[in-house]
């Protein structure tokens, strides 16, 4: 196991954004995010000796990280679903003026994703990460047709949400 450490650390460093994104999508507060990041890193390290390269490292990493996140989420984070990615403003009124259209839309997207069920959330993250349907199907263990249908349904809901807000 020790022999694999430098290689594992290099890969972890290279793909760490995956962990950040998943932790931010599944956890509301900073301490939960830290715990989840730790748990994901631990499980990745624990499983690394079984990684045989039959799939891309990122595919394998998404599987482990999402599985851990869903398990963690179901066990600990049952209440509250608003993701806070930015520091809270000192004065909400000042902040409101500075809020750009882009930030507002990012907020809507984050809120929408946070409200999705665990499995749909995983699906949406993979879709937004521009993964091909075949890879999403491989990670989630569902058919490509199912991937396409579900993504289309979720997107419709999201578009509806955006159009309601922007009216």
Partner 1 sequence: MEDTTLMDLWKAQEEKLDRTMQLNLFLLESMQKQKVRSKLNGLARIKASAVILGIAYILLLGLLIYGNQFKNIYFSISIGAILLFNILAVIVYLHHISLIRQVDYSQSITGAQENLSRLQASTFNTRFLFLQTPFYSTWFWSQEMIAGSGIKFWLISVPVGLLLTILAIWLYRNLRPENMHKKWVNRFIRSNPEHRSIIEAQEFLTEIEQFKA
Binding site for partner 1 (CB under 8 A): 1, 5, 9, 12, 16-17, 19-21, 23-24, 30, 33-34, 37-39, 41-43, 45-47, 50-51, 60, 63-64, 66-68, 70-72, 74-76, 85-86, 102, 105-106, 109-110, 117-120, 122, 128-130, 138-142, 146, 150, 155, 158-159, 162-163
Is residue 98 within 8 Å of 50, Cβ to Cβ?
Answer: no
Least distance from partner 1 to the Cβ atom of residue 76, Å: 8
Q: Which residue, 16 or 95, has its beta carbon nearer to partner 1?
A: 16
Least distance from partner 1 to the Cβ atom of residue 119, Å: 5
Least distance from partner 1 to the Cβ atom of residue 92, Å: 18
Least distance from partner 1 to the Cβ atom of residue 91, Å: 19
Q: Is 110 exposed, middle or buried (0-12, 13-18, 19+ CB in 10 A)?
A: middle
Distance CA 121, CA 47 (A): 23
Least distance from partner 1 to the Cβ atom of residue 93, Å: 21
Q: Which residue, 97 or 101, has its beta carbon nearer to partner 1?
A: 101
Tokens, residue 87: 């520091």
Q: Which residue, 85 or 96, has its beta carbon nearer to partner 1?
A: 85
Q: Which residue, 16 or 132, has its beta carbon nearer to partner 1?
A: 16
Q: Which residue, 109 or 115, has its beta carbon nearer to partner 1?
A: 109
Tokens, residue 93: 């009124």
Helix axes 118-128, 144-165, angle to 10 degrees: 90
């Amino acid at each position: 196991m020790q022999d694999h450490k430098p290689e594992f650390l290099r890969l972890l460093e290279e793909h760490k954004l995956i962990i950040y994104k998943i932790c931010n999508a599944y956890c509301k507060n900073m301490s939960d995010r830290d715990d989840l990041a730790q748990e994901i890193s631990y499980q990745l390290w624990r499983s690394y000796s079984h990684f045989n390269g039959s799939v891309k490292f990122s595919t394998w990493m998404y599987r482990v990280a999402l599985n851990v996140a869903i398990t963690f989420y179901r066990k600990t984070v049952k209440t509250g679903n608003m993701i806070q990615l930015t520091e809270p403003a000192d004065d909400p009124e000042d902040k409101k003026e500075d809020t750009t259209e882009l930030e507002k839309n990012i907020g809507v997207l984050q809120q929408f994703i946070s409200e999705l069920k665990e499995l749909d959330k995983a699906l949406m993250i993979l879709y937004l990460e521009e993964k091909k349907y075949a890879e999403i199907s491989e990670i989630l263990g569902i058919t490509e047709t199912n991937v396409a249908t579900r993504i289309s349904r979720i997107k419709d809901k999201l578009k509806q949400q955006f159009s309601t807000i922007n009216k």
